[in-house]
Structure 1
Amino acid sequence: MGGGGFTMEPENPALDDYVLGLAQDAPLPRICLLPTASGDGEAQIRQFHATFGSRSCEPMHISLFRLGSHPVPLRETLLAQDVIYVGGGSMLGLLAVWRALGLDVILREAWESGVVLAGLSAGAMCWFEWGITKSLGHPAPSPGLGFLPGSMSVHMDGEPARLPICRQSIADGTIPPGYAADDGVALLFRGTELAEVVASRPNRKALRLGPDGVEEQLEPRLLATPDRFGPTPEIAEYRRVRALTAPQAPTAHQLRPRRPRRRP
């Protein structure tokens, strides 16, 4: 996502519903927030649970900066998820912490096993070979994990200073061709191929940025916004009872294994 979702559009659940809908094989998807790019910011974590805590899903988050006081079996926990959702913030900080803890390897294993990887801003650029980050205080190219080929620039409308840097960096060969997206726009990849572009609001744009200044405008499909944001009464009651009876967060041996699935 170039921007949007629960941190930027808390009143508009279209993109978050879309993310949950990608876990088609799971009647109650397990979704885990990695808020590393914000330094495990409490505001981002609270908004995530406010948004997904009443949805028909099982939300949790992992605070990597607090592993000393709240240890989590990282590989087992992440591989047990249906969706891993990465928040925005510093792309440089995000990747430094992930690599120090081995999450770059774990997340590739999760991706290859069929876990949906999602995120906005830094949480979107990190999957590509390159992104345009403002971690240094100004827009600049930064290498990502390289799961997806090419580059990604976000907040095309909200932070317009990024796009000229992206164009120039492609033109001089610093980074490969790639994509740019407005806030409220999401690019869906199946494997490494772009499958769909969607938007939570009308009049949003995305671009495919090619070599030699060649650009293609990608027309997003406008997502329908539901009349209500919340679970069915049955799911709400299930979650209420579960919250009252759950003794503690699951340990490694309590985590349910994910069902095998085919990669698209």
Structure 2
Amino acid sequence: MTVAGEATAGQSTVAGEATAGEPNLADRPTFRGTIVALGGGGFSMSETGESAIDDALLRMAQAAGVGDRRADDPRPHVCFVPTASGDSSDYIERFEAAFAGRAHTHVLSLFGQSPWDYRAPDMLGDMDLVYVGGGSTANLLSLWRRHGVDEAMALAADGGTILAGISAGANCWFAASSTDSFGPLAPLDDGLGFLPGSACPHFHGEPGREESFIRWIEQGRLPSPGIAIDDHAAVVFEDGRATSVLVEAPEAKAYSVDEHGGIRILDEHGQVAAVAEHERTEENFGTDE
């Protein structure tokens, strides 16, 4: 099934002017390439498979020009990496349904039942866009390192391939993150480190995400800057620096959290723009024993 569609009105970016004197999120580039981190949304959270953020990713992939193109077939090459879900067949089918007809679709599987199902990670270097699915951040990182996917990702990005991911697929790029890989929410500090600081997907979409993420950054259990991303929002990074915010729902936003727990909304250029409204109480923040 081919899912098409133009970006909807809900794809407006977060409004606001950057406050004078406020720093960019990533003052120290640690990575060369483009990364798009989705807090939630995309085809993964769409009943129809349609997504304004995915439409934007396809436009970026089209412009990347890494994969082989024929004059009569200029579609970009997009590879789905469902490691975090254990290579869920349903997830793969949803990806194929959302992107078929609009891109040459590929899947990097690390859970093949036979040697012939296995795909070498170096295939990523031939892609215009690599799209990492959600699931367990901890399992993803462990398997990627075992199979050399982390190195293949860095090489692909250096060659112009766009790296994107949702939830666990967003967490993985950062030095650290908030994850439910172990059941309850917990800080995880051994991310790939392509991006500095820490990430929190589903910031206002799942109970406990906001409170725990802010608390762990204040306590030093997660590094700052913290990048918190709502469902249906994404932050685009170029060479380690936030450059834009994409949203596909009016209420969706992305935020920066500093080492003191201060929350700032990011504007459409990825700059801190406004203090986010948040009523801090002992009840909603709790205490750690």
Range class of TM-score, shorter chain: 0.7 to 0.9
2:255 matched to 1:217? no
The farther-off stretch of 92-101 and 59-68 is 59-68
Q: Residue deviations 1:59-113, cap 9 Å, x none?
A: 11121110634132321x1111111000000000111110110111111111222
Measure, in 2, the Cα distance between the counterparts of 1:99 and 1:131: 17
Q: Is the 8 A contact 1:3 1:121 kept in 2?
A: yes
Measure, in 2, the Cα distance between the counterparts of 1:214 and 1:19: 30
Amino acid in the other structure paired with 1:154: P
Q: Is the 8 A contact 2:43 2:51 kept in 1?
A: yes
Which residues of 2 match residues 39-118 of structure 1 at below 5 A?
Answer: 39-55=86-102, 57-66=103-112, 68-75=115-122, 77-118=123-164
1:13 alignment partner in structure 2: 51
SS in 1 for 2:157: helix
Which residues of 2 match residues 155-194 of structure 1 at below 5 A?
Answer: 155-177=202-224, 178-194=226-242
2:252 matched to 1:204? yes
Q: Is the 8 A contact 2:204 2:210 kept in 1?
A: no
Deviation at 1:10, TM superposition (A): 4.2
Q: Percent identity at matched positions? A: 40
Measure, in 2, the Cα distance between the counterparts of 1:25 and 1:206: 25
Amino acid in the other structure paired with 1:62: L
2:166 alignment partner in structure 1: 120
Q: Is the 8 A contact 1:185 1:220 kept in 2?
A: no
| Equivalent residue pairs, number | 219
SS in 2 for 1:213: coil
SS in 1 for 2:117: coil
Q: Which residue, 198, 209, 213 being the options, matches 1:151?
A: 198
Q: Is the 8 A contact 1:204 1:220 kept in 2?
A: no
Measure, in 2, the Cα distance between the counterparts of 1:138 and 1:111: 33
Amino acid in the other structure paired with 2:39: G
Structure 1 portions without partners, runs of 5+: 222-264
Measure, in 2, the Cα distance between the counterparts of 1:102 and 1:73: 9
Structure 2 portions without partners, runs of 5+: 1-37, 66-73, 270-289
Deviation at 1:133, TM superposition (A): 0.6
Deviation at 1:220, TM superposition (A): 5.1
Amino acid in the other structure paired with 2:218: A
2:40 matched to 1:3? yes
Q: Which has the higher contact order (CA 8 A, sep 6+)?
A: 2
SS in 1 for 2:223: coil
2:60 alignment partner in structure 1: 22
Amino acid in the other structure paired with 2:249: R
